């Protein structure tokens, strides 16, 4: 994307986020055409705390306006306009338009290279950002290397990275409230981190034996652009592993769980279903535990996390329970020896794994109820 900054005297990067209006909530979405962008539009249009102010939807700067419902007919209302929103359009992007509409928070549902370009400009214009791409999720350069960012190591990228907060409310709720840039987590990473974090934090896992994270995702996790591997003839009636030891979400696991690469093996798989993730996590405990102990640990850790559902000991979640919801479902089964434990973590990759988590972060930034528009 070309540089479309039309403000001749932009603000400099601020060390403090701009204050959000207590009266009016004004948000914009860049990149609404994809699967996660569609879910983000649907959630925001129905959000009960946005005071009847629909989002500004932004498309390519060189494009022409087009009806939102033409891109996503599922958002059409009975008048053929848009989800009760008076015929909203996707508008050509410009900073002048963003500022004239009084936008305070900008969602970036864009490819990571576009987010690397747009985030610094948005911060210069005094906006707060929720970025759904992988552009700003990783704090360590060795973990970011998998993205091959063209601006890696530049002064601008370094300054922006220091502002980024990993947008997992269950782990970073307080930091998200005041963040100027929230880096929304990856979908696989969300399911695995939430499934493992209570045990890792408690020091119960024997890390010398290592962790195995076997994760499977529906085809929508690969994005809307068709590829040979997401083509019906490849994906239907098939199950395939990919990205072994090289998947982009691996760095998120290492950083958020404070693990060394040798302590976890993560293997993603492509399921022949539209959406949903099931992660099966295999661990050894350092000491024998009772099922009641494990369940109590999870319930205590997530006691203030309304979008994580902990199943009773021995009961396991399934994709069908969490798909089309904003929940992450977690269950476990403990072997008779009390040391071998299998954790199953399920979520909808487009909701809790993407758009739903982004709205959860918006709620924290605005001081809304964390579940507003989500349950």
pLDDT in tens, 166-177: 999 999 999 999
The alpha carbon of 173 is separated from its chain's Cα centroid by a whole number of angstroms, namely 14
Query: Is pLDDT at 73 greater than 50 in this prediction?
Result: yes
214 assigned to some structural domain: yes
Residues 3-48: tens digit of each pLDDT: 433 333 333 344 455 545 433 448 999 999 999 999 999 999 999 9
Could you tell me if 48 and 92 lie in one domain?
yes
Are residues 73 and 216 both part of a single domain?
no
Report pLDDT for 183.
98
User: What is the Cα–Cα distance from 362 to 370, expressed in whole angstroms?
Assistant: 9
DSSP-assigned letters across all residues of 4-69: ----SSPPPPPSSPPPPPSS---EEEE-TTSHHHHHHHHHHHT-TTSTT-PPEEEE-TTS--EEHH
Are 224 and 137 in a shared domain? no
Query: Would 56 be classed as within a structural domain?
Result: yes
User: For the chain, give me the number of helices (H) and strands (E)?
Assistant: 13, 15
Domain that holds residue 294: 188-349
- With 50 as the cut, is the pLDDT of residue 102 above it? yes
Shared-domain flag, residues 292 and 232: yes
Q: What distance in Å separates the CA atoms of residue 166 and residue 137, rounded to the nearest whole number?
A: 6
Q: Which residue has the tokens 């499977």?
A: 216
Average pLDDT for the chain: 91
Contact indicator for 159, 250 with CB cutoff of 8 Å: no
Token pair 């307080």 in the structure block, residue: 174
Residue 5 confidence (pLDDT): 39
Residue 236 placed within a domain: yes
The reply to whether 171 and 51 lie within a common domain is: yes
pLDDT given at position 81: 52
In-domain check, residue 8: no
How confident is the model at residue 80, as a pLDDT? 55
Active-site residue flag, 18: no
| Residue 167 lies inside a defined structural domain of this protein | yes
User: 174 and 272 share a domain?
Assistant: no
pLDDT at 78 (0 to 100): 65
pLDDT band for position 233 (cuts 50, 70, 90): confident
Q: Is the pLDDT of residue 86 over 60?
A: no
Residue 374 included in any domain: no
Nearest to 361 by CA among 187, 177, 189, 193: 177
Same domain, 225 and 176: no
How confident is the model over 243-269, as pLDDT tens digits? 999 999 999 999 999 999 999 999 999
Count how many domains the chain has. Answer: 2
The domain that contains 140 carries what CATH number? 3.40.50.720
Q: pLDDT tens for residues 142-167? A: 999 999 999 999 999 999 999 999 99
- Give per-residue pLDDT as tens, 183-231: 999 999 999 999 999 999 999 999 999 999 999 999 988 778 878 888 8
Residues 230 and 167 in one domain: no
Confidence of residue 287 (pLDDT cuts 50, 70, 90): very high
- For residues 179 and 197, membership in a common domain is answered with no
What pLDDT is recorded for position 85? 47
Q: What 3-state DSSP class applies to 187? A: helix
Q: Does some domain include residue 7? A: no
318-353: pLDDT as tens digits? 999 999 999 999 999 999 999 999 999 999 999 999
* 121 lies in the same domain as 225: no
Question: Is position 101 within any domain?
Answer: yes
Residues 209 and 303 both lie in one domain: yes
In which order are the strands placed within the sheet that holds 66-67?
Answer: 66-67, 89-92, 56-59, 27-30, 105-108, 128-131, 181-183, 164-166
**Per-residue pLDDT at 292 exceeds 50:** yes
| Residues in a beta bridge with 308 | 328
Among the listed ranges 79-88, 329-338, 361-370, which one has the minimum average pLDDT value?
79-88
Whether 315 and 251 map to the same domain: the answer is yes
């Amino acid at each position: 994307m070309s540089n479309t900054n039309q403000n001749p005297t932009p603000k400099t990067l601020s060390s403090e986020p701009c204050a959000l209006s207590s009266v009016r909530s004004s948000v914009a979405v860049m990149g609404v055409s994809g699967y996660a962008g569609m879910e983000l539009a649907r959630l925001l249009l129905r959000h009960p705390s946005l005071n009847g102010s629909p989002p500004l939807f932004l498309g390519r700067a060189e494009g022409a306006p087009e009806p939102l419902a033409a891109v996503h007919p599922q958002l059409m209302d009975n008048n053929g306009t848009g989800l009760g929103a008076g015929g909203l359009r996707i508008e050509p992007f410009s900073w002048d338009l963003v500022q004239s509409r009084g936008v305070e928070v900008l969602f970036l549902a864009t490819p990571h290279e576009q987010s690397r370009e747009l985030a610094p400009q948005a911060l210069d214009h005094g906006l707060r950002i929720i970025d759904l791409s992988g552009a700003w999720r990783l704090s360590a350069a060795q973990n970011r290397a998998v993205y091959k960012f063209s601006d890696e190591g530049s002064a601008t990228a370094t300054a922006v990275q220091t502002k980024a907060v990993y947008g997992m409310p269950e782990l970073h709720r307080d930091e998200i409230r005041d963040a100027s840039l929230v880096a929304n987590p990856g979908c696989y990473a969300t399911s695995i981190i939430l499934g493992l974090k209570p045990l890792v934090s408690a020091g119960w896992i024997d890390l010398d034996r290592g962790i195995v994270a076997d994760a499977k995702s529906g085809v929508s996790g690969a994005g809307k652009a068709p590829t040979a591997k997401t083509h019906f003839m490849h994906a239907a009636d098939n199950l395939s592993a990919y990205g072994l030891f090289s998947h982009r979400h691996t760095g998120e696991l290492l950083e958020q769980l404070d693990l060394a690469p040798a302590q976890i093996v993560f293997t993603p798989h492509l399921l022949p279903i539209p959406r949903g993730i099931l992660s099966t996590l295999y661990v050894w405990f350092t000491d024998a535990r009772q099922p009641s102990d494990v369940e109590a640990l999870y319930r205590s850790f997530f006691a203030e996390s309304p979008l994580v559902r902990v199943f009773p000991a021995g009961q396991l979640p399934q994709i069908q329970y969490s798909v089309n919801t904003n929940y992450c479902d977690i269950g476990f089964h403990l072997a008779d020896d009390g040391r071998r434990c299998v954790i199953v973590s399920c979520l909808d990759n487009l909701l809790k794994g993407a758009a739903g988590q982004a709205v959860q972060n918006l709620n924290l930034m605005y001081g809304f109820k964390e579940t507003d528009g989500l349950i």
